[in-house]
């Protein structure tokens, strides 16, 4: 069993319907696309991603319990698991193709993930993710509001931001408040 770790900001999504909605939000061409899943945890998104023929999936996980779980339950992806911190990953050196990023981002590093995406904006074509509501609101906010900030400005300058749907707090382990 993988225990959520507070210092990693882990909250595991339990709702399969929501997981499928997140995966289905990826806009991929009919050709094979390189997809990086950040922090797959117990693989709730992974199980749907691996079924897509157009997805060349790489998992990036920092938690050793999750890595062991993923290797056991997704053995076919064992050689596609990068054991480490996404924020320290050299995307240009590791991947030559355009990238699509997906994940349930921990609140404590979501802004850092987006700044890394911005640094690689020519390579990263899209990001589909689940975020804490306040972070999602801030990123999708329009100019003139109090929550509109540097991350909003930069992400909106290079990407089309779409707030897809809200997720209730009871669908996570541990429960969010």
pLDDT in tens, 119-145: 999 999 999 999 988 899 999 998 888
DSSP, collapsed to helix, strand or coil, labels residue 55 as strand
Structural Rg of the chain based on CA atoms? 16
Average pLDDT over residues 151-169: 94
pTM of the model: 0.93
Q: Quote the pLDDT of residue 174.
A: 63
Kindly indicate whether the domain formed by 8-131 is annotated with CATH number 3.40.50.150: yes
User: Considering only CA atoms, which of 124, 115, 109, 158 is closest in space to residue 35?
Assistant: 124
Q: Quote the pLDDT of residue 171.
A: 84
Q: Is the per-residue pLDDT at 5 higher than 70?
A: no
Q: Quote the pLDDT of residue 31.
A: 85
Residue 19 CB neighbours (<10 A): 21
Q: Are 69 and 43 in contact (CB under 8 A)?
A: yes
CA 155, CA 141: separation in Å to the nearest integer? 11
Angle made by CA atoms 42, 43, 49, in degrees to the nearest 5: 175
Compute the Cα dihedral for 12, 97, 24, 143 and give only its sign: positive
Q: Is the per-residue pLDDT at 4 higher than 80?
A: no
Between 17 and 169, residue with greater pLDDT: 17
Q: Is the per-residue pLDDT at 175 higher than 60?
A: no
Q: Quote the pLDDT of residue 147.
A: 84
pLDDT in tens, 81-113: 999 999 999 999 999 999 999 999 988 899 999
In the chain, where the domains are located: 8-131
pLDDT in tens, 49-76: 999 999 999 999 999 999 999 999 999 9
């Amino acid at each position: 069993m993988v225990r959520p770790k507070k210092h990693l900001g882990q909250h595991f999504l339990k709702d399969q319907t929501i997981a499928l909605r997140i995966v289905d939000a990826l806009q991929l061409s009919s050709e094979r696309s390189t997809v990086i899943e950040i922090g797959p945890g117990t693989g709730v998104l992974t199980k749907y991603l691996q079924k897509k023929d157009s997805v060349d999936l790489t998992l990036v996980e920092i938690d050793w319990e999750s890595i062991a779980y993923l290797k056991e339950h997704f053995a076919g992806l064992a050689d596609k698991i990068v054991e480490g911190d996404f924020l320290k990953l050299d995307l240009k050196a590791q991947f030559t193709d355009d990238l699509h990023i997906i994940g349930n981002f921990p609140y404590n590093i979501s802004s850092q993930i987006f700044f890394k995406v911005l640094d690689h904006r020519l390579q990263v074509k899209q990001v589909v993710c689940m975020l804490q509501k306040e972070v999602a609101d801030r990123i999708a906010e329009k100019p003139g509001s109090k929550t509109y900030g540097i991350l909003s400005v930069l992400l909106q300058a290079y990407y089309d931001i779409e707030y897809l749907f809200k997720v209730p707090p009871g669908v996570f382990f541990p429960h969010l408040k």
